[in-house]
Amino acid sequence: METAKERTVTPEQIEGPYWLPGSPERQRLVEDGIVGAPLTLTGRVFKQDLTPVEGAWVDFWQCDGVGVYDFEGYRLRGHQYTDADGRYRLETIVPVEYTDRLEFAGRQFDVHRTAHLHVKVKMPRRQTLTTQLYFPGAPHNDKDQIFNAACILELSSDGRTAQFDFVLPW
């Protein structure tokens, strides 16, 4: 389905403190013991002229269903490459909102984040787009200063499947 969203270049969003290089190549992030409601996210990667990008590197990272990121290993982290039609597919769980304790200029402060998935997308020979994806109707979207409505997923009525197309600024 083509939507207005597909015609808009996907906005850049901050990387945040939790990205790790070297995630495993995999489409399925769900493992034994992971807390959270299952979610399958699919979509495509396009250039700005809406031609699909084959072989784009798409790297996801996120917290689990209780707001925890993994730093010991690569739980809920993974990258993949788009197919000839620019398609990716991610099997994961629904992240939840969480509070970050950040330090800036020697001061600590709390930032409450609405539920989001982090992602980096890179087509060959271009820079990396770093962004975040959000859930429609999540209670704290409006209170999160990083939130961008142009990065909202399309979510099925049962909440188990989601769709998002990336349009790169190239």
Distance CA 89, CA 46 (A): 15
Q: Which residues bind Fe ion (CB under 5 A)?
A: 16
Is 16 or 52 the residue whose CB approaches Fe ion more closely? Answer: 16
Distance CA 39, CA 159 (A): 7
Is 103 or 158 the residue whose CB approaches Fe ion more closely? Answer: 103
Name residues whose C-beta falls within 8 Å of residue 147's C-beta, 6 or more positions apart in sequence. Answer: 114, 116, 134, 141
CB-nearest residue to Fe ion: 16
CB of 63 to Fe ion, least distance (A): 6
Integer CA distances (angstroms), 153 to 17, 43, 72, 109, 156, in order = 22, 10, 29, 29, 10
CB of 132 to Fe ion, least distance (A): 7
CB of 18 to Fe ion, least distance (A): 6
Distance CA 167, CA 100 (A): 29
Is 57 or 147 the residue whose CB approaches Fe ion more closely? Answer: 147
Is 6 or 15 the residue whose CB approaches Fe ion more closely? Answer: 15
CB of 16 to Fe ion, least distance (A): 5
